[in-house]
Amino acid sequence: MSPVELHVLLAFIPAALALNLTPGADMMFCLGQGMRGGVRPSLAASAGISTGGFVHVTIAALGLSAVLATMPWIFEVIRWAGVCYLLYLAVQTLRTPLSGGSSKVARPARAYLDGLLVNLMNPKVILFILAFLPQFVDPTRAVLPQFLTLGLVMAIGGFIVNGLVGVFASGVGHVLLQNPRVDRILRFVSATVFGALALKIATEAKQ
């Protein structure tokens, strides 16, 4: 039997894709690698970021599995923490220009390591995972396999999206950093995605 039911997976994939398409620190890192180093470093950086994300998922799954064994109500706590965190992200996204990031030129191996460390040293990643993934996890079934399956889907999607951003950046990606209008549009779209997710989680918490 599959760790995640098919209808849940079909609902998760577009939601994860929408999140992967939301500009953030990881995407900006790959954008910088593409602009400064070209295609290979940007793809390597994307692979490192996806690896770091999957490590975060594994850590979160192991910890959450242990907690759920004695405190199944923790899912409700996570829901409301997720609502607050997603609203915080929405506000921060609107207030913070995307064009302030920087990234150094690196060989692919170094770019992979940099991407891995950028992701692992960002505590917000694991908080976001704990806010998002449990919405698609059935607490009556084994939690770890569900987390790992969903985390793998997110990692693959993130690698594809961030990798494509890096490839694009190697050609014309500088427009995203130099055009204030594009910057504002991307921030508005990102904030809308975070706000909609917060509303979804808050509504489900009342059911």
Is 19 or 164 the better-scoring residue by pLDDT? 164
Q: What pLDDT is stored for residue 207 in this prediction?
A: 46
The per-residue pLDDT of the chain, averaged, comes to 79
- Secondary element (H or E) of residue 56: helix 39-70
Residue 1 located in a structural domain: no
Residue 137 located in a structural domain: yes
CA distance 38 to 56: 28
Residue 176 located in a structural domain: yes
Residue 67 located in a structural domain: yes
pLDDT digits (tens, 9 = 90+) for 160-200: 999 998 888 777 655 555 677 777 776 787 678 778 877 87
**Confidence at 154, pLDDT banded by 50, 70, 90:** very high
Q: What pLDDT is stored for residue 99 in this prediction?
A: 55
CA distance 66 to 9: 24
pLDDT digits (tens, 9 = 90+) for 52-62: 999 989 888 88
DSSP 8-state secondary structure symbol assigned to residue 22 = S
Residue 151 has pLDDT above 80, yes or no: yes
Q: What pLDDT is stored for residue 77 in this prediction?
A: 77
pLDDT digits (tens, 9 = 90+) for 45-86: 999 999 999 998 988 888 766 676 677 677 677 678 778 877
Domain range for 112 is: 6-206
Q: What pLDDT is stored for residue 200 in this prediction?
A: 75
Total domains present in the chain: 1
Q: Can you say whether residue 103 is alpha, beta or left, with left for phi > 0 and alpha for psi between -120 and 50 degrees?
A: beta
Q: What pLDDT is stored for residue 119 in this prediction?
A: 84
User: How distant, in Å, are the alpha carbons of 16, 20, 118, 122, 177 from that of 33?
Assistant: 23, 18, 13, 18, 13
CA distance 171 to 50: 23
Chain mean position to CA 141: 24
Q: What angle do CA 14, 173, 23 make, to 5 degrees?
A: 35
Lookup: tokens for 177: 């950093």
